[in-house]
Amino acid sequence: MVAEKTPPTHAPMNQFSVNGNELIIGGMPLTHLAARVGGTPFYAYDRSLLSQRVAELRKILPALVKLHYAMKANPLPALVAHMAGLVDGIDVASGGELKVALHAGADPHEISFAGPGKREAELRQAVAAGILLNVESFREIGLLAGISKELGLPARVAVRVNPDFELKSSGMKMGGGPKQFGIDAEQVPDALAAIGRQGLAFEGFHLFAGSQNLKAEAIVEAQCKSYELALRLSKDAPAPVRFLNLGGGFGIPYFPGEQRLDLAPIGANLAALIERAKTELPEAQFVIELGRYLVGEAGIYVTRILDRKVSRGQTFLVVDGGLNHHLAASGNFGQVIRKNYPVMIGNKMHAVEKEIASVVGPLCTPLDLLVDRMELARAEPGDLVVIFQSGAYGASASPQGFLGHPAVVEVLV
Ligand SMILES: *Cc1c(COP(=O)(O)O)cnc(C)c1O
């Protein structure tokens, strides 16, 4: 006889408490929050969970590592302002994000700007603001030389390196092989020479190998390789390395079978690298930049059931928001195979009656699938479907104009 294998389950969403049948967020029962927001659908982000996350990281990472928030994960101005008070710096990816980071009160000295296609106007904004530019091409170096002269301010630059290795088992690879990001490691000595010739203020290196990684050993290996590469490239640098941004890539569990990342080995490895750097790169400040790891688990997407239909034996819960607000949960934001996010009926957390149901959004396309046949509390129109792990790459990463439904509301609670 073959033992029946139990299917993998989602990691427990125990960052949130439950009172009776209600999920609690920001200290409030979900139905109460929905009334306060004024309707559904909405995203809610819990401030205390954001603060707690940063505090936990600080406990494990060496005190000398600077922690940056990569705000493309969630650019809601109120949330960025909250994060700016917790982390050491903000990483932006556009002139628009730079404006939000400055409004949020982030120290310009600790803001950095990466992105493969920076417009001349964005480069000028960045130089005038006094932030660090992660240069990604020879074109940018040339433009920055002109802007520095025009403003009488030498641009602060770090070289974003496209490394000659990849971050293994990553959800999204952003370095290694041919890439649009950064300058290939082989060309970096020439870029460093150009930066020196043009009189730009060289401050360091930025290496970002990949994203959404749940394997500590893979992250440790990438950080060691990044350090070695930066050390090697520093021999050709026109000035000492002051910032060494080793990227991030820390993932969170989204799908069945995924476990939370073990930070302890990463903290220990960073401590060892910092020890080495004391003699090898004595002026270097280590930076790690995290997006989803800081904010993803603190957010939920809440949508209300409009209709309940049974079609040829399969139950569909039709809700008032879908891929137009939460593209990632529909499986259309970079996933190769569609899998379900952790989802629960937020006002029936302890319901005894369960059923297998699919949750679909209101859009007239079969892509608008939020849950594909999952065990949920038996739900009716009016009940609230909660999608967890939704604090990152949600509203701003979704096609809100698609099909002309109302825009989603976001609240920080
Ligand atoms: C997107 C991005 C990040 C954040 O990635 P997460 O997976 O959200 O942590 C960090 N650094 C750079 C350069 C990025 O492009």
All structural domains of the chain with their residue ranges: 17-45+296-412, 114-290
**Superfamily the domain 17-45+296-412 falls into:** Lyase, Ornithine Decarboxylase; Chain A, domain 1 (2.40.37.10)
User: What is the Cα–Cα distance from 57 to 65, expressed in whole angstroms?
Assistant: 11
Tell me, what's the pLDDT at 127?
98
Element (H, E) at 139: helix 138-151
Residue 211 CA: nearest ligand 1 atom is 7
Is the predicted pLDDT of residue 1 greater than 60, yes or no? no
pLDDT tens column, 56-82: 999 999 999 999 999 999 999 999 999
For the segment 277-305, the average pLDDT, to the nearest whole number, is: 98
Q: What is the CATH number that goes with domain 114-290?
A: 3.20.20.10
Q: What is the DSSP letter of 404?
A: G
Residue nearest to atom 6 of ligand 1 (CA): 291
| Full-model pTM | 0.96
User: What is the Cα–Cα distance from 186 to 182, expressed in whole angstroms?
Assistant: 11
Q: What is the three-class DSSP state of 386?
A: strand
Tell me, what's the pLDDT at 176?
75
pLDDT band at 177 (very low <50, low <70, confident <90, very high): confident
In the predicted model, what is the mean pLDDT of the chain? 96
Q: Burial code of 219-251, b = ≥16 C-beta within 10 A, e = fewer?
A: bbbbbebbbebbbebbeebeeebbbbbbbbbbb
Q: Cα of 362 to ligand 1 centre, how many Å?
A: 31
Residue 290 CA: nearest ligand 1 atom is 9
pLDDT band at 203 (very low <50, low <70, confident <90, very high): very high
pLDDT band at 99 (very low <50, low <70, confident <90, very high): very high
Is the predicted pLDDT of residue 209 greater than 90, yes or no? no
pLDDT band at 164 (very low <50, low <70, confident <90, very high): confident
Q: Is-same-fold flag (17-45+296-412; 114-290)?
A: no
Residue nearest to atom 8 of ligand 1 (CA): 291
3-state secondary structure 260-288: CCCCHHHHHHHHHHHHHHHHHCCCCEEEE
Tell me, what's the pLDDT at 61?
96
Q: Percent of the chain having pLDDT more than 70?
A: 98
pLDDT band at 2 (very low <50, low <70, confident <90, very high): low
Helix 95-103 / helix 120-129 crossing angle, nearest 10 deg: 20
User: What is the Cα–Cα distance from 277 to 203, expressed in whole angstroms?
Assistant: 15
Residue nearest to atom 9 of ligand 1 (CA): 291
Residue nearest to atom 7 of ligand 1 (CA): 211
Mutate to test the pocket of ligand 1, among 68, 72, 80 (most ligand atoms within 8 A of CB): 72
Q: Count Cα atoms within 13 angstroms, Cβ side, for 170.
A: 21
One-letter amino acid for residue 407 of the chain? A
Strands 354-360 and 369-377: antiparallel
Mutate to test the pocket of ligand 1, among 211, 254, 290 (most ligand atoms within 8 A of CB): 211
pLDDT tens column, 84-96: 999 999 999 999 9
Is the predicted pLDDT of residue 264 greater than 60, yes or no? yes
Element (H, E) at 68: strand 65-70
Residues with CB under 6 A from ligand 1: 70, 72-73, 91, 114, 208, 211-212, 248, 289-293, 392
Is the predicted pLDDT of residue 4 greater than 90, yes or no? no
Q: Phi and psi of 10, rounded to 5°?
A: -75, 150
Residue nearest to atom 4 of ligand 1 (CA): 291
CA 301 vs CA 58, 96, 320, 323: distances in Å: 27, 24, 12, 11
Which comes out higher in pLDDT, residue 1 or 214? 214
